[in-house]
Structure 1
Amino acid sequence: MEDAMCFRADPNTSMAEKKRAGFLPDANIGVVPCIGLPSKLSLPDQTWKTIPSQSTGKQHCATAVHNGKLYCFGGIDVPLEPPLGMTVKASSNLKCFDGKSWVYVIERGMGLGSARSTAVIIKDTLYIFCGINEMRYLNSRNWIGMMGKSVLSYNLMTKFPTPQSPFNTLRTDASSVCITKKDALVLGGYIQQDKKPLQQIEATSIVERYDTDSNTWKKLRNMNIGRASCAAAVLNGKVFVFGGYMNINTTVDICEFMNLSDGHWTLLTKKVPHPLGETSACCLENHIVVYGAQMHLFNREEGSLFLFTPEIQRWKEIHKKHQNALNEAASVFILQ
């Protein structure tokens, strides 16, 4: 064998050298699907383990991570062949997953339920943005949406729900992320009208900031590309946005980021290696873990899991030999 090289990994190898050599951080990643069983991916050996626990049990839940736990609110069960005029209400259950099992934080304790919404946790309070309270089946192509009109909030310590500000725009399938100790961004989604057929024709690029202290909204610069069901993560003073759909049939393969210092959006030069569709993300050291799955009704493709390094704009696939194919929407977070 000619021109071969070998080397020994020095424990004192610099971070820059590790990035060039393709090192993976030492961590456990939780992948929690809407319906299937949660799984754990151990890095850097890329081994999977199914966690024997119940599923969330609902589609289109809103999830947020706090103190190493994944909180899941709401969701909805949509029959494959509903009768005409059928009304389906969104759940108002709040559950918590600690990496081993699910625990009900509260059942039906927040009044109105919500589905196709998005969530963050700030100062021990869960905030639910956008989404629908219930849906009514109109015909084979349309559901009527009864839209959520105000922010839902629930204090995890006092277990007390509190009313919050109404939304500037009614939308579904938006994304959200904390940017300060009191502020959250709500990004993209599909703009809707109350008690009208739900639309998934064109995703919006609208970005709004919600101040939890003053209970007020402020419109920021739009993203370059409209997207729904995308993921957002904050790292090193930037908000990164990944994946999502332009419409129900078209995924977004170009990612972008916003500088928190000036609010300017910039497209990344390297596209996602595979279409992500419904996407979630979490930070891991100087990387971002990104998971996505295309959720077409009759053609679900196996999901993809990547490690993205913003500093060098590198994508590394870390989804290997999962014993159960990941082919649905899922949340990712770092297990403690």
Structure 2
Amino acid sequence: MTGRRRHIAHLHLHAALSEAQYDDVIELMSGITPHVQAVPPDAVQLDLTSALRYFDLSPYDMVQTAKMRLKLFYDIDSSAGLAGNRMLATMAADASAPGDTTWVPTEQAADWLYPRPVTALPGIGRATAETLSRYGLHTIGQIVDIPAATLQRLLGVGQARLLTERARGHDPRPVTPTEPAAHLTADLVLDRDCLDPARHHQAVLRLADRIGQRLRGEKQVAGRLTLTVRYADRSSSTRTRPLPEPSNHSPTLAAAALGLLTSLGLQRARVRAFVIRADDLRSADGAHRQLSLDPGDDRARSAEAAADRARRRFGSGAVYPATLAHDQRGQGRALLMS
């Protein structure tokens, strides 16, 4: 993330979750960004920096999207903090009322911190707080203003330096997933229950294209796709299919996803949401692709690479497949979640 302003979100989950349910939350959040760090038992942190251009959303709207996902898919309410580093995001979340989001922009962080109690800083235990209180140091601003030598005499050199860094809002720690992402997900929650097979078809095409973009952006290929359809009555159907060969080519992914959709035989089902999951991931550099004698295949892949470059520069909506032209114009109220 060097050279870019970071945007870190800390979400408090207002629910008592089992280990399996917590794992589901981590998986759901990985549909927004691969940079997800578990903070068990009831919180999660997301580095949204690379996701903002991909989704073409503001940092605040990106957090609202994450919270909406939790509510729609698992009926979990959450409060959130958004800031330029993990410490500030955690503190902002702690300061948020249930259901609210507190955003602390980097340029306002010092002013936001200044009047807050020193005990709001992470890592300030009772003994340290009592020592500071005896000398009239109750707020973060007072820690910032006190001479460094004085603070070092009170707490010792190492602890004083760490406290000063935190009081100034500094935290270089990255959001670190516990392990590399084993899958990618994309989901689409419709604005109303949908009976139209044509819209079902377009929604699945749209998600397959998103999965392809993300795989290519991560320089990965997938060996298997899973399609889950969630219905108006909260039930769901799931189908899984291995790909003929590992791929990140959107037409290949779309063909597999549409095959899964056909196998469900939805007809006039009242659909509320679609989810596509790509797994059996591996590095694109080490993947073998069957040679094709069709020159159109190479042209399609070259066009796809050019479209990806345009999206990275101008945003995710800059270029999209012709098959989705109607979808882009006619489904503006649909909420693309990942």
Name the TM-score, length of structure 1 as normaliser: 0.26
Greater fraction helix: 2
Of the two, which has the highest radius of gyration? 2
Greater fraction strand: 1
Name the TM-score, length of structure 2 as normaliser: 0.26
Asked which structure has the greater RCO (Cα within 8 Å, sep 6+), the reply is 2
